[in-house]
């Protein structure tokens, strides 16, 4: 697979999504994680998920590259609420 140059990334019409998919997500990226979950699970109500289930869904994302043990309740709540707000 050919590696895109930085200039090519900036010229892409969906630049932010393209750039975020070129890098691995971390627990600090709660908005990008929420968007990825919304894309992958469009019919899921995020408020009906337990934190352990949400955690499992996040670490299973193809673009997630952080340590599984790096999350906490506050991080998972931020992801959950951002996902909920984006879904509305």
Give, in degrees to the nearest 5, the angle at Cα 7 between 39 and 20: 25
Q: Tokens in use for 43?
A: 């019919």
Other Cβ atoms within 10 Å of 63 Cβ, number: 14
Helix (H, G, I), strand (E, B) or coil at 3: coil
Strand, helix or coil for residue 25: strand
- pLDDT on residue 22: 61
All structural domains of the chain, each given as residue ranges with its CATH number in brackets, are: 24-87 (1.10.10.600)
pLDDT band, very low/low/confident/very high, at 58 (cuts 50, 70, 90): very high
Q: Is the model's pLDDT at 19 over the cut of 80? A: no
Band of the pLDDT at 4, cuts 50, 70, 90? Answer: very low
**pLDDT level of residue 18 (50, 70, 90 thresholds):** very low
Please say whether the beta carbons of 27 and 18 come within 8 A.
Answer: no
């Amino acid at each position: 697979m050919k590696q895109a140059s930085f200039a090519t990334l900036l010229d892409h019409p969906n630049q932010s999504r393209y750039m975020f998919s070129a890098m691995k997500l971390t627990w600090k990226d709660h908005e990008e994680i929420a968007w990825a979950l919304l894309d992958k699970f469009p019919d899921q109500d995020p408020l009906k998920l337990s934190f352990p289930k949400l955690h499992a869904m996040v670490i299973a994302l193809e673009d997630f590259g952080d340590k599984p043990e790096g999350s906490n309740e506050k991080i998972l709540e931020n992801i959950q609420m951002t996902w909920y707000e984006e879904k509305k």
